[in-house]
Amino acid sequence: MDWGMKNRLGRVIKGGRTVMLAIDHGYFLGPISKLEDPGKAVGPLIPFADALMPTRGVLRNCIDPEADIPIVLRVSGGNSIIGKDLSRESITTSIEEAIRLNVSAVAFSIYVGAESEHQTLMAFSELVNQAERYGIPTLAVTAVGKELEKRDARFLGLSCRIAAELGARFVKTYYCDNFEKVVEGTPVPLVIAGGPKLETDLDVLQVVSDAIKKGAAGVDMGRNVWQNEHPVAMIKAIRAIVHENVDAAEAHKLFLGEA
Ligand code: R5P
């Protein structure tokens, strides 16, 4: 791996682990609850995140350019939650724009098994070709659209493997039963999304802990952090699991102490 590629990836995944903060939801969901004002929502969380995942619009308008935080730029879109086909995403942001914005990586959603499977896999491959030219790592997001029930080891294992085969330098997926099978079949680091807000704080911490124990490199979570009543306490507790190997019960105590 070239120095530039290693350096950018190493800024996001530090010592093999990462706590990424996803704030890209507006690109197809609009101003969802607690992310109406992205700058306000993430400002207090930035000191505890290893990387931020916004779109270029939110990065430019809501994130302080002096903030010392690596950016994993969401560069796919073209769909909306009320549109006909949620899987129909293309590259929205050129590689020159990503370089101009000084990003550490670019992110793209692939929709395996969906109507636009071929289109998203080919667009992702094109993004890999462009990004590799400049030593920029690509993050593939194994999207499931509205079909959350798809999140099992067979489907996610297939999606993650395809993403890695196409050249993803790291992959974002969901935690699931038999997650170790997904890890085993994916020869690049995996980070997990959180999905819609879970019922309890302990549930969130348990998922993170289980994912780390089974081989995830970390998290790229959004709603379960900034929709929490105590987002700073939550990201700190998640950090303790990811970077200090604290278990879920211990992290929960830390959360309660901070909340
Ligand atoms: C989809 O909306 C985005 O790619 C999110 O970044 C991703 O789903 C992670 O956020 P959450 O933890 O809220 O699922």
Q: Is 141 in the pocket of ligand 1 (CB under 6 A)?
A: yes
- Which residue has 């879970």 as its token pair? 198
C-alpha 222 – ligand 1 centre gap (Å): 6
136-150 pLDDT per residue, tens: 999 999 988 777 778
CB 184 within 8 A of CB 213: no
Tell me, what's the pLDDT at 259?
85
Tell me, what's the pLDDT at 147?
77
C-alpha to C-alpha distance for 164 and 138, rounded to whole angstroms: 10
6 assigned to active site: no
171-230 pLDDT per residue, tens: 999 999 999 999 999 999 999 999 899 999 999 999 999 999 999 999 999 999 999 999
Tell me, what's the pLDDT at 225?
98
C-alpha 25 – ligand 1 centre gap (Å): 6
84-129 pLDDT per residue, tens: 888 999 999 999 999 999 999 999 999 999 999 999 999 999 999 9
Catalytic residue among 6, 172, 197, 253: 172
121-131 pLDDT per residue, tens: 999 999 999 99
Strands (E), 8-60: 18-22, 51-53
Q: Is 32 in the pocket of ligand 1 (CB under 6 A)?
A: no
CB atoms within 10 A of CB 2: 10
Chain Cα centroid distance, residue 20: 6
pTM above 0.85, yes or no: yes
C-alpha 99 – ligand 1 centre gap (Å): 23
Q: Is 21 in the pocket of ligand 1 (CB under 6 A)?
A: no
C-alpha to C-alpha distance for 13 and 215, rounded to whole angstroms: 14
Strand partners, 170: 139
Tell me, what's the pLDDT at 149?
76
C-alpha 249 – ligand 1 centre gap (Å): 25
State the DSSP code for 82.
Answer: T
The secondary structure element, H or E, covering residue 212 is helix 201-213
Task: Report how far apart, in Å, the C-alpha atoms of 228 and of each of 23, 65, 146, 198 are.
Answer: 14, 26, 22, 10
Topology of domain 3-195 in CATH is: TIM Barrel (3.20.20)
Tell me, what's the pLDDT at 254?
97
Tell me, what's the pLDDT at 148?
74
Q: Closest Cα to atom 10, ligand 1: which residue?
A: 222
Strands (E), the chain: 18-22, 51-53, 72-74, 76-77, 90-91, 105-110, 138-142, 170-173, 190-192, 218-221
Tell me, what's the pLDDT at 155?
95
Q: Is 24 in the pocket of ligand 1 (CB under 6 A)?
A: yes
SS3 state at 128 = helix
Residue 74 Cα: closest atom of ligand 1: 4
Q: Closest Cα to atom 2, ligand 1: which residue?
A: 25
Q: Closest Cα to atom 1, ligand 1: which residue?
A: 25
Sign of the torsion angle spanned by Cα atoms 215, 218, 223, 225? positive
C-alpha to C-alpha distance for 46 and 50, rounded to whole angstroms: 8
C-alpha 182 – ligand 1 centre gap (Å): 19
Tell me, what's the pLDDT at 69?
98
Q: Closest Cα to atom 3, ligand 1: which residue?
A: 25
Region 48-75: mean pLDDT is: 97
CB atoms within 10 A of CB 33: 11
Task: Report how far apart, in Å, the C-alpha atoms of 174 and of each of 102, 153, 195, 217 are.
Answer: 28, 9, 8, 12
Tell me, what's the pLDDT at 135?
97
Tell me, what's the pLDDT at 150?
80
C-alpha to C-alpha distance for 254 and 232, rounded to whole angstroms: 11
Give the rounded percent of residues in the chain with a pLDDT score beyond 70. 100
Structure tokens at 57: 């619009």
Q: What's phi and psi for 178, nearest 5 deg?
A: 60, 35
Q: Closest Cα to atom 7, ligand 1: which residue?
A: 193
Q: Is 207 in the pocket of ligand 1 (CB under 6 A)?
A: no
